[in-house]
Amino acid sequence: MTTRSESRTALDHLLSEIEHRNPAQPEFHQAAHEVLETLAPVIAARPEYAEPGLVERLVEPERQVIFRVPWQDDQGRVHVNRGFRVEFNSALGPYKGGLRFHPSVNLGVIKFLGFEQIFKNALTGLGIGGGKGGSDFDPHGRSDAEVMRFCQSFMTELYRHIGEHTDVPAGDIGVGGREIGYLFGQYRRITNRWEAGVLTGKGAGWGGSLIRPEATGYGNVLFAAAMMRERGEDLEGQTAVVSGSGNVAIYTIEKLAALGANAVTCSDSSGYVVDEKGIDLDLLKQIKEVERGRVDVYAERRGSSARFVPGGSVWDVPADLALPSATQNELDENAAATLIRNGVKAVSEGANMPTTPEAVHLLQQAGVAFGPGKAANAGGVAVSALEMAQNHARTSWTAARVEEELTHIMNDIHTTCHETAERYDAPGDYVTGANIAGFERVADAMLAQGVI
């Protein structure tokens, strides 16, 4: 029988090996550390997980694809970007995870996202594996024609690695309905197949699911509401700070309002807005989704209730709830300390790994309910899997049915994380609960399928 101490030593050794074998990939190192440091109790309790090199296989992607993406801008100049697809683990089903188009994208970022996706997808209970992809292409400021040419070039290579039973990409930062449309069109053109289930996040009129654009933000708020209920409270009357102003942030704000909370902030790379009356969703959607403008324009048009703060930290604004919905490592230890001083009750991650490890530790020590992204933002991939189910049946569900399914899934994820944490003597620790619950589901499938 392996003790927790022995398991901890073995995992520490593996973490050192990961850092050695994957140099200059700090995001992947951080993601692996965050998961592995919680697994000692489960490996001690179930030594069969340690025997066939299972954890060693889990942290090594099954396949990593890197490719050149040449494309022409509107002036005829040729640009060369780099494309990625990391197919991390398919023990539970086809690889599933988004595509991110952003200048910050590199192999380490994609591996961190893909590794997180394994556990997130496992928590949904929907039979999907983990993967992620993208490119260092920046769609911001590019014309529709330029984005189309890039997407067509990107898919010209990617198509040979994906399929509805193999790998099903979706959107992420920089990849919305426009990009998914161009990607799907090129896939259809090359393969001569109407394979609706190969991409999710499609338009509702041609195979997409209702509630998919809203799903990540809605799901995060539902998870936050479940954490608050566990504390004997609800969202009615609570003040919330939300970072970001993209898809996740917008629908986080929308769902908060629907459940009686008041979101007073949004942000982008230029700074943040504080709106004492609460964020005006129609105005924010017009500026961000239609005009593709910056949040300072929101403050200009909103009037006296709103002010724009260039730079700075959205976490300086006092609130009951904090929902980081922009990007990784945006909420650091200093920000966490400020939130705690201002009386925050719960932090729920809408983005992937937006809170640094030091900040997570500080929040948990202070008794703040903390919802890790692999649990709290699983609503997006959950509805993507529901989109796949609709595609397989050649049918379309009502918005009410999809939202009902989403609510059920998010409540189940919360219950699973809460009960697993208690089972392993870590009551209220949703990080430990999410990591172990997701790990157990994947590990059991990997054991059943042999050393592959």
Give the max Cα distance, the chain: 67
Distance CA 31, CA 352 (A): 10
Q: Is 383:212 a contact under the CB 8 Å cutoff? A: yes
CB atoms within 10 A of CB 74: 10
The H or E element spanning position 250 is helix 247-258
Distance CA 356, CA 126 (A): 29
Distance CA 60, CA 386 (A): 28
Q: Is 179:147 a contact under the CB 8 Å cutoff? A: yes
374 among known catalytic residues: no
Give phi and psi for 181, each to the nearest 5: -60, -45
The DSSP code sequence of 59-106 is: TS-SEEEEEEEEEE-TTS-EEEEEEEEEEEE-SSSSEEEEEEESTT--
Which one of 132, 202, 255, 288 is the catalytic residue? 132
R_g of the chain, CA atoms, integer Å: 21
Residues with a catalytic annotation lie at 132
